[in-house]
Amino acid sequence: QAVPLSRSEKCIVGTGLEGQVALDSAVPLITEHAGKVISIHTDKILLSGNGDTLSIPLVMYQRSNKNTCIHQKPQVRRGKCMKKGQILADGAATVGGELALGKNLLVAYMPWEGYNFEDAILISERLVYEDIYTSF
């Protein structure tokens, strides 16, 4: 069981398929036409190309079928020229168009004064105070 993190990271060691998995999931928003980014709003990206202005809608805090949140975050800046197939926005489980399901942390499996007996774990207060594992 898992919920998407609000700020996930790319994995340090991957399989090489993270980019393809993200594309196959249709979560990141990919440009279908070349053009220049005119403006970026919270709910849409305006792209100008071939004399036309395209309004590309973003998914904003939509409920998924598992009661989690689907949200696309723009990854481009105003004025950037885009080619067909480039990433405009990332989804909840993607960063830079690659699958990113969690955080990169240094962990240690060791006893600690009996507080982590059997299936209990201990975490640093930093993970709580810095919202490292905050989800939607």
pTM attached to this predicted model: 0.76
Q: What are phi and psi of 41, to 5 degrees?
A: -115, 170
Distances (CA, A) of 126 to 48, 66, 103, 123, 135: 44, 29, 13, 8, 16
Mean pLDDT of 6-22: 91
Mean pLDDT taken over the chain: 88
Q: Which of 42, 99, 37 is nearest to 72 (CA)?
A: 42
pLDDT tens, 108-123? Answer: 878 888 777 777 777 8
Whether the predicted pLDDT of 45 surpasses 90: yes
Mean pLDDT of 65-69: 82
Return the domain boundaries, the chain.
Answer: 18-129
Which residue has 């004064």 as its token pair? 113
Q: Which CATH code fits 18-129?
A: 2.40.50.100
Mean pLDDT of 2-11: 86
Q: pLDDT grade, residue 37 (50/70/90)?
A: very high
User: What is the rounded radius of gyration, in angstroms, for the C-alpha atoms of the chain?
Assistant: 19
Distances (CA, A) of 54 to 5, 7, 44, 51, 75: 30, 29, 10, 10, 17
